Amino acid sequence: MAARFQMACDSQPPSLSPSFVLPEDIRPRLQQVSHGISVPVIDLAADDQSLVVGKVSEACQQYGFFQVINHGIPQALCDRVLDTVAQFFHLPPQHRNQYVTTDHKKKVKIFNYYANVEGRRVNMWSETFTLPWNPDPVETEYLDVVPEEPAVYREVYGEYAREMGSLMERLLGLMSLGLGLEEGALKRRIGAKPELYSQANYYPPCPDPELTMGLGAHTDIVAIAVLLQNQAPSGLHIMKDDHWVSVDPIPNSLVVNLADQVQVLSNGRYKSVIHRAVTNSVMERVSMVMFYAPNDDTVIKPIEELTDEHHPPLYTSFTYREFMQRFHAQEGRRRRVKETFELPHTPTQSTSPN
C-alpha cells in the first residue's frame, strides 16, 4: 500500500524527479550521520524526582532534545494514533486533497514543505497534515474539523489530546524547576490560551534517500513539541557539535523538543536545536508532533529571574504575532527568526550560570 502512495496534490505517485532532488552540496550525506551517540533517555517515573529535574535541565542545555519513557500515555493509545495517521495517509488522494492549501493561517491543512534552492523549488519527500488540539475534555469543538475518515480518527485524537495536555504541563514544570524557577513559571510566561496544534507526518519509502530530504534543517518556532514516531529506520537527526546525530526510535518512548520560545524565555540557557527529517528506502515512516505555542498577543522575553549583571537579556521582547510575521517572511529558505530579536552583547557575557 505504501508503495502506491500519492501526494494529495498530485495525480501520480511521487518519483525522484528533479523537483525532489537536492543539489549535491546540501544532500543529507547519510553515511556521515552518527548513530552511536543519541539524545538522553529520561525515565519520568523514577523515584528520585530531583534527579529527573537535573537530567531534564542538562538535556535542555546540552541537546535541546531528549526522549522520555514511562511518560504516562498508554502505549496502546500511542499505537492507535500512529495506525490512525497511517490509515489517513493511505486514503486515496481525492479524499485528502480537500485539505491541501498554501494558506498558513488555516487551522486544518495538508502542506508540502519545500526549499528555494538556486532559484528553484525543491519539494520535500513528505506530506504533512495539521490540526488544532485541546486537552480540555469540555472544549471539544476542535474535534469537529477532524476528518471523518478513518472512522476512529476523532475518538483516538481526542483521547491522545487529553493525555498530551497532562504530559505537556508536567514537562514544562520539570523544565521550569531545572531553571531554578517555580514549577509553573514557563507555562505562565507562555501565556493563557496557548496555540495548540498537531502535525501528522508521512514519509513514503524513497528510491534513493541520499538525493532528497523528508524535511529540511530547521528549528521549531513554538515553545515545546512532543514527537511520537513509529519504529521505522531512524528519520530524525539533530545537530550536535556541528555534526548530525540520529535520534533512533526507542520502544514506548516520546521525543521532546525544546523550541525557539523557550530558548528566549530561558535567556539562552535552554537550546532550540536544528534538526531535520530524512527518508529511507525500506518502509514508510509515520509520526505525530504535538505543538504548544503562545497565542499571538503573548509577549515573549527573557524571564527576569534569569537575567542579572553577568547574564544580561540576550533578546528583545516581542509578541508571538511579530515572531510569526518574520517567520513567514523567510518562507522557503533556512529560517533564522529568533536571531532577528537578539540584542548586541559582548563576548564576556554568558548564557549559563557561573
Over the stretch 33-51, which tens digit does the pLDDT of each residue have?
A: 988 778 999 999 999 999 9
pLDDT for residue 334 is more than 70: no
Percent of the chain with pLDDT over 70: 93
What pLDDT sits at residue 119?
81
Q: What is the mean pLDDT of residues 208-226?
A: 96
- pLDDT tens-digit profile of 204-216? 999 999 999 999 9
More confident of the two residues 105 and 91: 91
- Beta 65-69 vs 41-43: how paired, if at all? parallel
Lowest mean pLDDT among 325-329, 341-345, 346-350: 346-350
What pLDDT sits at residue 174?
99
Reported confidence tier of residue 312, pLDDT bands at 50, 70, 90: very high
Residue 11 located in a structural domain:
no
Residue 174 located in a structural domain:
yes
pLDDT for residue 193 is more than 60: yes
Residue 325 located in a structural domain:
yes
Q: Which residues of 220-252 are buried (b: 16+ CB within 10 A; e: fewer)?
A: bbbbbbbbbbbebebbbbbebeeebbbbebbee
Residue 353 located in a structural domain:
no
- pLDDT tens-digit profile of 266-283? 999 999 999 999 999 999
Q: Determine whether 352 is exposed, middle or buried from the number of CB atoms within 10 Å of its CB (0-12, 13-18, 19+).
A: exposed
Looking at mean pLDDT, say which of 116-125, 290-299, 334-343 comes out highest.
290-299
Reported confidence tier of residue 2, pLDDT bands at 50, 70, 90: very low
Residue 117 located in a structural domain:
yes
Residue 275 located in a structural domain:
yes
Domains contained in the chain, number: 1
Mean pLDDT taken over the chain: 91
Question: Cα angle at 270 between 264 and 272, to 5 degrees?
Answer: 75
pTM, two decimal places: 0.92
Cis peptide before 150 (omega within 30 of 0): yes
pLDDT for residue 145 is more than 90: yes
pLDDT for residue 57 is more than 80: yes
Order of all β-strands in the sheet with 65-69: 41-43, 65-69, 254-258, 224-229, 285-293, 195-203, 127-132, 109-111
Residue 80 located in a structural domain:
yes
Residue 40 located in a structural domain:
yes
C-alpha closest to that of 277 among 172, 196, 165, 199: 199
What pLDDT sits at residue 159?
98
What CATH number corresponds to the domain at position 288?
Answer: 2.60.120.330
- pLDDT tens-digit profile of 171-183? 999 999 999 999 9
Report H helices in the chain: 49-62, 75-90, 93-96, 153-178, 185-190, 260-265, 320-329
Question: Domain range spanning residue 328?
Answer: 30-341
What pLDDT sits at residue 59?
98
